Structure 1
Amino acid sequence: MRIHALPNDVLDRARALAGTDEHHELHDESPGAPLRCCLRKAGPGEPVILFRHTPAAGRGPYEELGPVFAHTEPCDGPATAAEFPEAFRHAPRTLRAYTAAGRIHGGEVAEPDVLADRVTALLDDPAVAEVQVRSASHGCFLFAITRD
């Protein structure tokens, strides 16, 4: 599996708009915020931006808009693209599978100890192009996963 943080063009656009409107909030710090740029939790004193994002996979009636956090300045990105990020293994996650046409093609809520196995099972279906991992409690997009 390949883990995808938010694309640089999305992050660059959000950072350029940081603090300019109600959709791009600047926060001097927000410890514990799940950062979609590097797929870890924000630490104390790390400035972040909170902005609206629509993941690319869902299209038409399946398009979703939700809040995401990222560093206000570019960072090094995720430590790895091959493993489920440790910072996001602590709680159940909603897994949503999408076809290449952007249609939902299954999904489930998975417990932390079986997340990677459940993602693999969803990706084993040839109709699935991408799995979105979301917060089960808030529904927020965390990251996407595709086949290697």
Structure 2
Amino acid sequence: MRIHALPDDVLDRARELAGTDAHHEWHAESPGAPLRCCLRKAGPGEPVILFRYAPGAGVGPYEELGPVFAHAEPCDGPASTAEFPHAFRNAPRTLRAYTADGRIHDGGVAQPDALAQRLDALLDDPLVAEVQVRSASHGCFLFAVTRD
């Protein structure tokens, strides 16, 4: 499987707009915020931005818009794109599987000890092009997963 943080062009635009409108906020810090740029939690004193984002997999009525955090300045990105990010393994996650044409195909909630197996099972379906991993409690998009 391959893990996808937010695309650089999305992050660049959000950073450029941070603090300029109601949809792009700048925060001096927000310790513990799940960062979608590097797929870890924000530490104390790290400036972050909060903005709304619609992942590309869902289209039409399946498009979802929600809040996401990222570093206020560019970072090195995720430590790995080959394994489930450690910072996001500690809670149940909503998994939504999408077809290549942007329709929801399958989904569910996976407990921390079953996340990798559930993702593998969804990606084994040839109709699934991408799986979105979301917070089960808030519904926020965390990252996307595709086949290698």
Structure 1-normalised TM-score?
1.00
Quote the Cα distance in structure 2 between the aligned partners of 1:86 and 1:77.
Answer: 14
Please state if 1:73 is matched with 2:73. Answer: yes
Quote the Cα distance in structure 2 between the aligned partners of 1:106 and 1:115.
Answer: 15
Q: CA RMSD in A?
A: 0.3
Q: Counterpart of 1:108?
A: 108
Quote the Cα distance in structure 2 between the aligned partners of 1:8 and 1:101.
Answer: 23
Quote the Cα distance in structure 2 between the aligned partners of 1:84 and 1:114.
Answer: 11
Please state if 1:84 is matched with 2:84. Answer: yes
| 1:100-139 superposed matches below 5 A | 100-139=100-139
Q: Counterpart of 1:144?
A: 144
Q: Counterpart of 1:9?
A: 9
Q: Which runs of 4+ in 1 moved over 4 A?
A: none
The 3-state SS of whatever aligns with 1:107 is strand
Q: Counterpart of 1:52?
A: 52
Quote the Cα distance in structure 1 between the aligned partners of 2:50 and 2:16.
Answer: 13
Quote the Cα distance in structure 1 between the aligned partners of 2:83 and 2:91.
Answer: 16
Measure how far apart 1:110 and its partner are.
0.2
User: What is the identity percentage for the equivalent residue pairs of Structure 1 and Structure 2?
Assistant: 84
Number of residue pairs matched by the alignment: 148
Q: Counterpart of 2:98?
A: 98
Structure 2-normalised TM-score?
1.00
Q: Counterpart of 1:39?
A: 39
Unaligned runs of 5+ in 2: none
Quote the Cα distance in structure 2 between the aligned partners of 1:86 and 1:16.
Answer: 29
The 3-state SS of whatever aligns with 2:15 is helix
Unaligned runs of 5+ in 1: none
